[in-house]
Amino acid sequence: MTESNGPQEAWAAALRAHGRRVTKQRLAVLAAVERHPHSPAEHILAAAREELPELTAQSVYVVLGDLTDLHMLRRFEPPHSPALYETRVGDNHHHAVCISCGRVEDVECAVGHAPCLTPHWDEDAKPMTIQIADVLYQGICQECQRTQKLPSNVQQ
């Protein structure tokens, strides 16, 4: 894949590998999420419609759900937010959310693999094998620190 082809060919190959047809709808949704990482479905719908005006909300929701099931998209739900989607899959990166404006930033996983936190079970009582630790950082982004009064419960 050369750079000028962008991720389109990789997406097409992944869709075929999963037995999905390579449709304009699927590619438009993937491209919209790629351009607007960490976006909710309604923003993805609006962005994908710039490319494909006839897209329906229903089809975008169906495609988002399907691509998430195929692990071609990652979906995560910060508190007080609709589900957000991104094309960055296959790594164990985490997210930092600004509790003031909702801005989301990717955070590299310090450990690099899941789970990156190990629970301290009692030695003889290990009720589960842990596969994923969902880490969500919450804080105040630089922009909000500059321009807004901080919530009273936040210490600088």
Interface positions with Zn ion (CB under 5 A): 86, 98, 100-101, 103, 106, 141, 144
Residue 52 CA, distance from chain mean position: 22
Quick one: 146 exposed, middle or buried, by C-beta within 10 A (0-12, 13-18, 19+)? Answer: exposed
Whether the upstream peptide bond of residue 115 has omega within 30° of 0, thus cis, is yes
Cβ proximity to Zn ion, 45 vs 141, nearer residue? 141
Nearest to Zn ion of 63, 104 (CB atom)? 104
Least distance from Zn ion to the Cβ atom of residue 112, Å = 15
Report, in Å, the least distance between residue 49 CB and Zn ion.
23
Name which of 37 and 115 has its Cβ closer to Zn ion. Answer: 37
**Rounded to the nearest 5 degrees, what angle is found at the Cα of 112, between the Cα atoms of 111 and 115?**
75
Q: Which is nearer to Zn ion, 66 or 106 (CB)?
A: 106
Q: What is the DSSP letter of 51?
A: H
Closest separation between CB of residue 9 and Zn ion, Å?
23
- Using the 8-state DSSP alphabet, how is residue 149 labeled? P
How far apart are the C-alpha atoms of 61 and 156, rounded to whole Å? 40
- For residue 75, what are its two tokens? 């979906």
In whole angstroms, how close is the CB of 151 to Zn ion at the nearest point? 11
Tell me, what DSSP letter sits at residue 108?
-
Smallest gap, in angstroms, from Cβ of residue 47 to Zn ion?
17
Query: Which residue, 4 or 142, has its beta carbon nearer to Zn ion?
Result: 142
